[in-house]
Amino acid sequence: MLVASGYVFTLQTLNSHYRAAIEHASLSSRLSGELEEDLLHMERNLRRYMVLKDAESLNDYVTVRAEWQGHVGAFSRLPPLPEAILNEFQAQLAMENEAFAVLKNTGSAQRLHVVIDELKLRSQNSLDEAKLILDREQEQFLKDSEVLSTRLMLAAGSSVMIALCCLWAIRKLLARLIGRFERALLRLGKGDLKQAIELDGPGDLRWLGRWLEWLRKRLLSLEEGRAQVLRHVSHELKTPLAAMHEGASLLAEEVSGPLTTDQRRIVSILQSNSRRLQDLIEGLLRLQQAGHAAERIGFEAVRFDFLIEHVLETCRLIAGERRIQFQCVLSKTEIVAGREALMTIVHNLLSNAIKFSPDDGCVFITLVQDEDRVSFDVIDQGPGIPEQDKTQIFEPFYRSLASRHVAGIGLGLAIAREFVLAHRGELLLIDSPSGAHFRVVLPLSAPYLRVQPDA
């Protein structure tokens, strides 16, 4: 800022001096011409007086003489004329005054005529010398201005570079601090609550870090409490549910005696709902286990394409009942992952596609490797996902109106998503003109599975 202010001030000063120099040069040129004309008019009027001896000619001389004296005084005040030229102008004025006094006293103009001839010569020499000095001064000023401007430009350029470097350093520091904050929020949003949050930097950022750490501990406590309640409730429900299911099976087998038609219908309702309740409890347990999968997954090298083909074999029987076919394009891919977790992901996505595919439909499956990641896509020909359901499709137990006629409890996609997140991957719903298109993106190797430390 100081350099910029100095630069502006210096430019203004140079501009002011340059304008003054131009004005002096212009005034010098104008006065030089007027002095020459004054001497010519004085000479002309004096000659006329010498011939006519009339008062009018003498008065005209006196008038022009006064103008000449004023112009000599104005020229003498122009800077920066040396003392010698100023003395010369004073000498010329004195010569003319002396000769004019002779004219007034004696009436003879001969002496004044000789003086004016000498004044014309001496005045021209003085004016030429003064013009040379002024031109040289202006030229030197322009050179000094150019040198100073160059130095100022270099100083301004250096200041700009220093300012840019400072801005770049500040930006890097802020980006680093904000990046830590964003990564901490991202871990909380993804449910990664194991790594403690500690933010360095200014006091405000450290204060936010302490609150985020408090929030992490609070969420971790709530998650552990939820898991504990879920385990206890599931355990407590299993025993009476098994008894209900066994009792309904005994009734259906007519162990206690024959059943009427209405009784058989009631027993069938008991059996189907007890099975559904059992599926819900098992689904809850699987979801709870999937939420903590990252802690228990045993990573190993897995041929992903072979694993998909293996899961397909288990699904072909169910798909064959409705004449649903599979079209597969699987590239040879080896991935470091949890084998059981991968099988659950593939099985849940394929089961979901089979459920929603129409009879005689087709499910398209692709596996593509892209540098350090792999993409697994499953596309069905079903009704697709309504726009209003896309944001909730991966939530546990969520079932859209379009899927109410399809058997299920709404946990398959949620469980698959938890296992994908445990591998530091993504489960995406891709826009599709028809049917549903799900994509799993996973890193190929184990280093991507570790939580990256704050930079």
CATH topology of domain 203-290: Helix Hairpins (1.10.287)
Over the chain, what is the mean pLDDT? 78
User: In the chain, which segments carry CATH 1.20.120.1730?
Assistant: 2-159
Q: What's the predicted TM-score (pTM) here?
A: 0.48
Position 45 pLDDT exceeds 70: yes
Residue with tokens 């002024």: 134
Q: What are the angstrom distances between the C-alpha of 386 and each of 63, 408, 435?
A: 106, 18, 10
pLDDT mean over 335-357: 88
Between 241 and 164, residue with greater pLDDT: 164
What percent of the chain has a predicted confidence (pLDDT) above 90?
7
Torsion of CA 172, 174, 178, 183, to 10 degrees: 30
Give 364's pLDDT tier (boundaries 50, 70, 90).
very high
Class of 2-159 in CATH: mainly alpha
Q: Give the pLDDT confidence score for residue 173 in this predicted structure.
A: 74
Q: Give the pLDDT confidence score for residue 337 in this predicted structure.
A: 87
User: In the chain, which segments carry CATH 3.30.565.10?
Assistant: 296-449
Give 374's pLDDT tier (boundaries 50, 70, 90).
very high
Residues 6 or more apart whose Cβ sits within 8 Å of residue 251: 259, 263, 267, 270
User: In the chain, which segments carry CATH 1.10.287?
Assistant: 203-290
CATH topology of domain 296-449: Heat Shock Protein 90 (3.30.565)
Q: Give the pLDDT confidence score for residue 375 in this predicted structure.
A: 93
